[in-house]
Structure 1
Amino acid sequence: MPMPIELSFSNGAAILTIDNSPLNLINAEVRAGIQHCISQVLETGATRLIITGAGTTFVAGADAKEFGQLPVDPQLNDVLLQLAHLPIPTIAAINGAALGGGLEIALACCYRIASTSAKLGLPEVNLGIVPGAGGTQRLPRLIGIEAALDMIVTGKAVSAEQALKMGLIQLLADDPLGAAIALDDDVLEAAQAPDNLPSPKPNHVAAEVARAHVARRMPGQNAPHVAVDLVAASAMTPLHDALASERAAFLDLRASDQARALRHVFFTERTATNKGRTYPRPSRDAETAIVVGGGNMGAAIAYTLATAGISVTVVERSASSAEWARENLQKLIDQGISRGILSPDAGKAVEDRLVTVSGYDALPPTDLAIEAAFEDFAVKSAILTELEGALPPETIIATNTSYLDVNRLSDGLKHPARFVGIHFFSPAHIMKLLEVVRSDRTSDDTLGAAFVLARRLGKIPVLSGVCDGFIGNRILSSYRHAANRLLVKGAIVDEIDAAMRGFGMAMGPYAAQDMSGLDIAYANIRRKAAAEGNCCGHVPLVERLVEKHKRLGRKSGAGWYDYGPDGKPSPSELVASEILRVSEEMNFTRREFSADEIVERLLLAMVAEACDILDEGVAEKPQDIDLVMIHGYGFPRWRGGLMHHAKNIGKDRLAALFSALVREDPCDWRVPRNLERVFAT
């Protein structure tokens, strides 16, 4: 088995190559290898030490699998302390991504040369930890407190060009290793490792701005707060003491519930992106696509496909509708350019890949066709039939339905094996979740193509079986039902929203429903009621607000909240009075609910539905539900997702909580029938 570290020599330079493919991740063997090579270099009389990575990656970080285990010596912080104080010049030849511990290796060197394609960053906060091998102390000595806070607290990477401007690296080169070997001795002798540079100037304003950012954008998370304190301390604390504080904080955070939860999500996402390997790979990737519908969702889907290099034809009913769709697409392109997501040239390339047409006559042969019409079974079924008639039989046909029965939609198709549900979440060009819905007749080949497409689009794919609302919207329905039950029992709209935000949800259920539109919720309630009747304990509040008061949410300036000219929400007296009226009609005695009670009940409602989804085989495993809730519904990532959080609560505690609620309200609650199996592992 090849060693992960190779030491070679060229023109008096010792070259240490980290070769732990595919990403050159740092593990105990790599750390030991670096330490051993450092000792060897001192014995060889080499005049400089160059560290680089094999292949196209420098070092993409530490092996996160080790984070859940006891630390194994040597530790990276100790190895890098040796590297930073070597008596010969050290150069990091950064040939690709230098992330986490990879960048910390580079920071311990005297000189840093990067390829133009390199990315440099310290993303540790995304795993619930902070840099633990000098990153919070050496980086500020190179680029200052403000820039270091921006990189470390957000976890975002910078390009090599940005790194050069910031002073993070000293040189750009197409061949960093060659440039390091050829570097002039005088230039190298003047370079110093950050350990020998003066402390950065204090910047209390930047630290306070970072703390405000963390409170606003990263509520409930511990690691970003710790990162701010460590970076700020680099200006005032002796390096030796600051490095010790950093290491202690790293080890403490690494053992925390948040870090365990974030590692769970990290590995679950990796598994999801590799899911497609379990299905046959298509003979060719999709290069052309048709999207039926150029409204907000259809345009966003088409834009997403086009930004991935796929040529897209958007189909509308008429010439005027096609022009309207083209305007929607252009708005998305313009927004991408204005936000810096697309360069002007890239925007023009995306525009060139998008064509709008009216009708199904003379559609070009295509690899993939997606209908993105509104949620009406008859409309979608008719579109799918027309698409199949207008396209070659090998074309994969997909529906973007959020709720409808994919099995029934496939009934009218001649080639149902080539039909699949591909449920994008709104806005489709931003949201990462993609529910891949398998009908009873969808072939494995078609699923393989769907997963390959998801990977190309940069989405997190989750396989779902067929049921009303699939995984995410089915859980959302139970969540909203439980919230409405709380309203008529005594809770208040903004109390519920505040409680769920306090738990870590991106938005409360009522603010979120106002954003999506009460008309959508109303249409779904009517559709389900017509098919199967209202569930036990249904609360008819959405119907009252829509039918009686025409309150549709933000789009109408009034929903669960009132909205002023500035768009800011405020509690509605009208809504409060309707809640009281419905509460009386349903014979509830109202009482106050604490934030903890609100959170507990809404989480239990979601967990109960998720257990049913698993029991029915709609979702394959609890981890899939975690991804759906995080990437589709704003469940706090740092809690690990719904089922991971439920597992932390514990099976026995959950059973006791459900039993207590059943005694209080047997119409609305039951103990999930498969709680034992779901939490057995």
Structure 2
Amino acid sequence: MSASYEVHGAVAVITLNNPPVNGLGYATRRAVAEGIDQAEADAAIKAVVITGAGKAFSGGADIREFGSPKALAEPNLHSLIAKVEACSKPVIAAIHTVCMGGGLELSLGCHYRVAAPGAKIALPEVKIGLLPGAGGTQRLPRALGVEPALNMIVSGEAVESQLLAMVPGQKLFDKITGSDVLGDALAFAETVIAKHADGSPLPRVRDLKARHAEPDAYFQFARNMVAAQAKNFPAPLRCLEAVAASAYKPFDEGLKAEREGFLALMMTPESKALRHAFFAERATSKIPDVPEDTPKREIKKVAVIGAGTMGGGISMNFLNAGIPVVLLEMKQEALDRGIATIRKNYEAQVKKGKLKEDKYQQRMALLSTTLSYAEIGDADLVIEAVFEDLGVKQQVFEQLDAVMKPGAILASNTSTLDVNRIAAFTRRPEDVIGMHFFSPANVMKLLEVVRGAKTAKDVLATVMALGKTIRKTCVVSGVCDGFIGNRMIEQYSRQAGFLLEEGCTPQQVDKAVEKFGFAMGPFRMGDLAGNDVGWYIRKRRYQEKPHLRYSMTADLLCEMGRFGQKTGAGWYDYAAGKRDAIPSPVVVEMIEQHRAAQGITPRKISDEEIVHRLVFSLVNEAAHILEEGIALRASDIDMVYLTGYGFPLWRGGPMCYADTVGLYNVVEAMKRFARNPLDDASFWQPAPLIQRLVAEGKSFTE
């Protein structure tokens, strides 16, 4: 579909019809242009209304055409807007529901705009590292005012139409309609026809002035603010300069400045990374052998086993989505603690103004508790969040198998254990799946959905859809030790330990990685998660994989009882009630004594080596994961690290970053690391997939 043309008396109605959001793809642009021509040629037509079918006016560019010749084919969006603007008959945009990006730019080319209340209005291009490229930075400041337009363009956030209509002096909307936006637009068109019956010129946004009382002072203030808030992203400052051009330059010169800024941003690694992340997030839901129309099971009630930190956080996700939850524990004291923590979390949101009191009470009313497995049997989904031990999981799943109703989905929140073995503890392995939430589960966006060998397709489809309902980014993983994220982070952590032995301090490693852009370095991360968690896993590794070498510093730290923030001491010291990481002389002394015992002479290690050993360890392990079919695509791995492990967004994830560096250069670095006698030479043999991509001149993500 593209766009339809209908006649209502003296008014032609062009309806964008390109589901799901009426993207302005080539066919749609062409159909709109043809509709304008048809209206111009018909003497009986006195005005044109442009609107959108379904649940959007237009969401902007058709993302399915990004990077293809169709995206720029004539009429491109600039040409279409110019055609609409030059139409000899008044063109009215009838805006409803969603009007974003190129859709808003198209409406700004119309002579008049009417909008339904609640319509989401935005120029979100900055979120993919770009600026509005079809006149948005020039027309919106003229229609809305410089300051509100700059705020919208630099943030990319949507604002509801009725709020924008309240901006003093705005010329963005000529009328806020009722619920029948098309009917009101047709009535408004009759008024406009009468107004211009004498041949008076049609209003054009381009002819307005983008005024500000003190532009020099304002734009300098804005530059300082934007530079401080977006230091790793070039697009916000470019957006600002384009808006400034609207205030200082004639319209056509401003358009030229906008175009130059757009083209410059297109070539930046940051924009490429953001665009990669944009498409990667949408790709995560595509599972080759599970069609989008796969029937889904109904989830009306959820049970959660375990009221600890994870169980409470998991429960909050469903309460927030309006889904009743029954929380099960073995002892009343544990239940009481869990409920108290959930209340505390919600009350903190209320205190900060992020949650209204009535919403808080509604959510808590959806939560019930029990000490008996028999009372959760009617739940449609049950998620266990108990201790990470296969024996404990076995006890839980055997009981779930006995009490849960037929068709219920049985999910494990395990972070490393074999979901196939867990499924085998039941007589219904097809109903078992992994749902690996990340802590804090009510905050972190990532949900690793672990597909067992016998997991039914409708179970997988249901959990993926449910993940969207609870506002998670869901990534499918196959079964292996640690799945995608934790399997990779183990190699990252091993390298961090080797760096300590070779001469680094924990704070040097953390600072290097945080300067690169990670939210938190490996040692601060360990202290937050609990160093005893990694210790437990390593003990299992020593039995299962005796050939795998680790630095002993982490074990020595745990033997000292330094488990992290929860004990007030880990790789760092912590003051009571605070999370500030204070360098610990005790830890430095422990590391130095360990080096001496191993006969290691410390050396000076550069930040570049620190970063590349850590990041490229992720990349090499990820390549093995891809080859084994554990992850469906490289971009899925990037989404795991962007949403679950604090990888810097402007670098696009480890696989995107490796492509940016160049896989040939990644391999050369691996060869250098393999020559280090204190490192693990066998690990640094490039994965066969990387070797093949280098030989073929290809990359992970393109």
Same fold (TM over 0.5): yes
Q: CA deviation at 1:557?
A: 4.0
Distance in 1, matches of 2:179 and 2:385, equals 45
- Within the candidate set 390, 413, 426, 1:413 is matched to 426
Q: CA deviation at 1:222?
A: 2.2
Distance in 2, matches of 1:325 and 1:308, equals 19
Equivalent position of 1:200 in the other structure:
211
Distance in 1, matches of 2:582 and 2:141, equals 43
Q: CA deviation at 1:270?
A: 1.8
Q: CA deviation at 1:231?
A: 2.2
Equivalent position of 1:608 in the other structure:
620
Distance in 1, matches of 2:223 and 2:579, equals 27
Equivalent position of 1:251 in the other structure:
263
Question: Which amino acid in structure 2 is aligned with residue 149 of structure 1?
Answer: L
Equivalent position of 1:182 in the other structure:
187
Runs of 4+ in 1 over 6 A off after TM superposition: 186-191
- Structure 1: give runs of 5+ residues left out of the alignment: none
Greater alpha carbon shift after TM alignment, 79-88 vs 421-430: 79-88
Verify: 1:26 aligned to 2:41, yes or no: no
SS in 2 for 1:629: helix
Equivalent position of 2:478 in the other structure:
465
Cα 1:366–1:245, aligned 2, differ >3 Å: closer, same or farther?
same
Q: CA deviation at 1:301?
A: 1.2
Verify: 1:126 aligned to 2:164, yes or no: no
- Within the candidate set 398, 408, 416, 1:395 is matched to 408
Distance in 2, matches of 1:444 and 1:59, equals 34
SS in 2 for 1:486: helix
TM-score (norm 1): 0.91
Verify: 1:676 aligned to 2:691, yes or no: yes
Verify: 1:509 aligned to 2:508, yes or no: no
- Quick check: 2:209–2:247 contact (8 Å CA) kept in 1? no
Distance in 2, matches of 1:132 and 1:343, equals 38
- Quick check: 2:296–2:462 contact (8 Å CA) kept in 1? no
Question: Which amino acid in structure 1 is aligned with residue 476 of structure 2?
Answer: L
Distance in 2, matches of 1:58 and 1:324, equals 48
RMSD: 2.9
Cα 1:106–1:370, aligned 2, differ >3 Å: closer, same or farther?
same
Distance in 1, matches of 2:489 and 2:219, equals 38
Question: Which amino acid in structure 2 is aligned with residue 252 of structure 1?
Answer: A
SS in 2 for 1:369: strand
Distance in 1, matches of 2:483 and 2:304, equals 22
Equivalent position of 2:8 in the other structure:
10
Cα 1:569–1:319, aligned 2, differ >3 Å: closer, same or farther?
closer
- Quick check: 1:276–1:448 contact (8 Å CA) kept in 2? no
- Quick check: 1:505–1:634 contact (8 Å CA) kept in 2? yes
Distance in 2, matches of 1:587 and 1:337, equals 56
Equivalent position of 2:563 in the other structure:
552
Greater alpha carbon shift after TM alignment, 407-416 vs 274-283: 274-283
Cα 1:511–1:78, aligned 2, differ >3 Å: closer, same or farther?
farther
Distance in 2, matches of 1:222 and 1:68, equals 21
Distance in 2, matches of 1:273 and 1:205, equals 47
Distance in 2, matches of 1:524 and 1:200, equals 63
Equivalent position of 1:68 in the other structure:
67
Cα 1:401–1:191, aligned 2, differ >3 Å: closer, same or farther?
farther
Question: Which amino acid in structure 1 is aligned with residue 280 of structure 2?
Answer: T
- Within the candidate set 320, 324, 327, 2:340 is matched to 327
SS in 1 for 2:247: coil
Equivalent position of 2:142 in the other structure:
141
Greater alpha carbon shift after TM alignment, 98-107 vs 20-29: 20-29
- Quick check: 1:153–1:210 contact (8 Å CA) kept in 2? no
Distance in 2, matches of 1:179 and 1:64, equals 31
Count of residue pairs brought into register by the alignment: 677
Q: CA deviation at 1:325?
A: 2.4
- Quick check: 1:417–1:442 contact (8 Å CA) kept in 2? yes
Equivalent position of 1:429 in the other structure:
442
Cα 1:364–1:391, aligned 2, differ >3 Å: closer, same or farther?
closer
Instruction: Encode CA deviations 1:132-183: one digit per residue, 9 max, x unaligned.
Output: 0111222223333333233222222122333333455341421222111112
Instruction: Encode CA deviations 1:273-302: one digit per residue, 9 max, x unaligned.
Output: 233871683453211110011222111211
Q: CA deviation at 1:609?
A: 1.2
Verify: 1:309 aligned to 2:322, yes or no: yes
Q: CA deviation at 1:238?
A: 2.5
Distance in 1, matches of 2:93 and 2:225, equals 32
Distance in 1, matches of 2:564 and 2:226, equals 29
Distance in 2, matches of 1:597 and 1:208, equals 38
SS in 1 for 2:93: strand
Q: CA deviation at 1:192?
A: 4.5
SS in 2 for 1:68: coil
Verify: 1:596 aligned to 2:608, yes or no: yes
Equivalent position of 1:50 in the other structure:
49
- Quick check: 2:377–2:405 contact (8 Å CA) kept in 1? no
Q: CA deviation at 1:479?
A: 1.0
Distance in 2, matches of 1:380 and 1:211, equals 55
- Quick check: 2:290–2:457 contact (8 Å CA) kept in 1? no
Q: CA deviation at 1:60?
A: 0.9
Q: CA deviation at 1:92?
A: 1.6
Distance in 2, matches of 1:214 and 1:578, equals 44
Aligned residues with identical type, % of pairs: 36
Distance in 1, matches of 2:88 and 2:573, equals 68
| 1:33-432 correspondence to structure 2 within 5 Å | 33-45=31-43, 46-70=45-69, 71-84=72-85, 86-166=87-167, 167=170, 168-169=172-173, 170-183=175-188, 185=191, 192-201=203-212, 202=214, 207=219, 211=223, 218-275=230-287, 278=290, 281-282=294-295, 284-337=297-350, 342-432=355-445
Question: Which amino acid in structure 2 is aligned with residue 462 of structure 1?
Answer: V
Instruction: Encode CA deviations 1:216-252: one digit per residue, 9 max, x unaligned.
Output: 6544222222112222333223222111111122123
Greater alpha carbon shift after TM alignment, 302-311 vs 252-261: 252-261
- Quick check: 1:315–1:360 contact (8 Å CA) kept in 2? yes
Distance in 2, matches of 1:209 and 1:616, equals 53
Q: CA deviation at 1:211?
A: 5.0
SS in 2 for 1:52: strand
Q: CA deviation at 1:678?
A: 5.7
- Quick check: 2:297–2:459 contact (8 Å CA) kept in 1? no
Distance in 2, matches of 1:213 and 1:632, equals 29
Distance in 2, matches of 1:676 and 1:274, equals 27
Instruction: Encode CA deviations 1:313-363: one digit per residue, 9 max, x unaligned.
Output: 111222332232222333344445556665555444333322122232333
Distance in 1, matches of 2:108 and 2:301, equals 45
TM-score (norm 2): 0.88
Distance in 2, matches of 1:21 and 1:10, equals 24
Cα 1:580–1:257, aligned 2, differ >3 Å: closer, same or farther?
same
Distance in 2, matches of 1:678 and 1:67, equals 24
Equivalent position of 1:647 in the other structure:
659
- Structure 2: give runs of 5+ residues left out of the alignment: none
- Within the candidate set 508, 519, 531, 1:518 is matched to 531
Cα 1:49–1:68, aligned 2, differ >3 Å: closer, same or farther?
same
Instruction: Encode CA deviations 1:584-617: one digit per residue, 9 max, x unaligned.
Output: 3333332223222222221221112112222333
Verify: 1:499 aligned to 2:512, yes or no: yes
Distance in 2, matches of 1:19 and 1:195, equals 27
Q: CA deviation at 1:422?
A: 0.8
SS in 2 for 1:301: helix
SS in 2 for 1:278: coil
- Quick check: 2:162–2:176 contact (8 Å CA) kept in 1? no
Instruction: Encode CA deviations 1:197-232: one digit per residue, 9 max, x unaligned.
Output: 221315567656655665565442222221122223
- Quick check: 2:303–2:381 contact (8 Å CA) kept in 1? yes
